[in-house]
Amino acid sequence: MSPPHTVKECASGNKDDARDARAIWVTATQKDVRRVPVKSVEQQAELFTHCVRSHWVSLRTATVNLLRSMLYEYGIVAPKVRKRVIGGVGEHREHIEQRVPPMVLQLLAQQLQAFGELDERIAADEQMLQQTRRTDETVRELLKVPGIGPLGASALKAELGAQARGAFQALAGLKGASLATGPADAAPIKVGSSAGSAAASGRQQAAPAQQGFAVDAGQRHTAWDFGELPELMEIRKGGQVLIGFPALIDQGDAVTIEVFDEPDVSATKHRAGLRRLFALQVKDALKYLEKNLPELQKMAVAFMSLGTAEELREQIIEVALDRAFLLDPLPMDEASFKRRVEEGRGRLTLIANEVARLAASILLDYATAVRKIKDTKAHPDATADAAQQLARLVPKRFMAVTPWTQLQHFPRYLKAITLRLDKLRADAARDAGKLTELRPQEQRYWRLVAERKGAVDDRMQEYRWLLEELRVSFFAQELRTPQPVSVKRLEKVWLQLNS
């Protein structure tokens, strides 16, 4: 769309439909006119919320100024800070009543009441805007930029829409550099991503000097021969120069370098690529492990309903590589990478055997739980809940996607499922009561996961595993939990999660 003021400049004569249509057409043909992006219904709603909140804030400021001027007429000087004005009126109420007539006291009471109502309206609008912080990935990324708060991030997302991430990247690219304000109609800086963002002229001036030269995105590497990986990096791809968060990309027999707009996406991709680069340095050790993992065939039988023996072996080796080489902080240059290779090479076999033993224990308990669920037919609600729990605990890639610290608790979680179903005959009513307590806690968590499109942060992880501990506490207390857990504790964690 064209900005209204540019259309008005092209209009001539008195206003009518024909002249307006001609002015719009003339503006549309001007290539040097900056276009206004079309806003979605959601963006408009969020902008309206900001406008209404701004209106209430203006009224609140006017109300405070009116209060100060009324008191000043009677020789009472109130402070300029809003909260101190309101607090001071309450604190010195007796002194004010002695100096101010009853009619003015009534007016002051009206203003204080109006102030309280405005505070509530502003808080309600801010609460609505806070919802986007929890569900919108772009807003969460913008909040990581120094100087941008929740309201600023929400307004930027509402105003720029899909371009907000580009604005974030432009700010990230200026990290550590002096920020200069350009002309109002300057073209926006476009930043790169693996999805094919366009390069912008003059971008080298916006990026930090320590980024160095742009590397070729298509170049394949089988060793760390590409220098240091900075926080932000420029790469050449398809004749363009892209800037973003760098990551090594797993290409099977080599790795390449790409950049991404989101640091979380970059970190996930980089771990997989770095794992591949480490694997290429220890090929002989991996060949030995592939042939000598303990009890692989026995595990494969229990894993059969989920996948093949080859897929299970890949997961075990993947976890072993992570535990041997991908310890924080990750190497960021050739020297630290080579040190990590030497450190991890000697312990890789021991770690792989440890991972394989844990996988065997988990799959043994998994098979027992599966049989128990099939054999328990008289209690459909309990068995359906246990089957759903089992599916979430042990998906196809459970070894690779579950944090190592939590994997060690899986045998206990799986034994708890079997014990629970064993107890059903003795006290089905108690099981049903505990399930009623548990369901609201689980439903809201998985609803939040769906709202965030599978993005799970550390606080959500904490809540998710507390749910498993609560199940142990409810249905198999004899297995114990590492720490006290209750519905009350989950409520506390949930409040922190949404704060």
What is the residue extent of each domain of the chain? 1-36, 41-135, 203-271
Q: Is pLDDT of 148 > 90?
A: no
**Rounded average pLDDT over 477-492:** 94
Neighbours of 211 (CB within 10 A): 16
Vertex 147: Cα angle to 146 and 153 (nearest 5): 100
Average pLDDT, the chain: 81
In terms of pTM, does the model score above 0.85?
no
**Rounded average pLDDT over 130-147:** 64
DSSP letter string, 390-417: HHHHS-TTHHHHS-HHHHTTHHHHHHHH
Band the pLDDT of 4: cuts 50, 70, 90.
Answer: confident
Instruction: Using only the alpha carbons of the chain, give its radius of gyration.
Output: 31
Give the tens place of pLDDT for each residue, 384-410: 999 999 999 999 999 999 999 999 999
The pLDDT value given to residue 264:
81
Report DSSP state, residue 231: S
- Chain centre distance of CA 307: 30
Give the tens place of pLDDT for each residue, 207-260: 333 334 567 888 999 999 988 888 888 888 877 888 888 999 999 999 999 998
**Rounded-to-integer distance, Cα 245 and Cα 268, Å:** 11
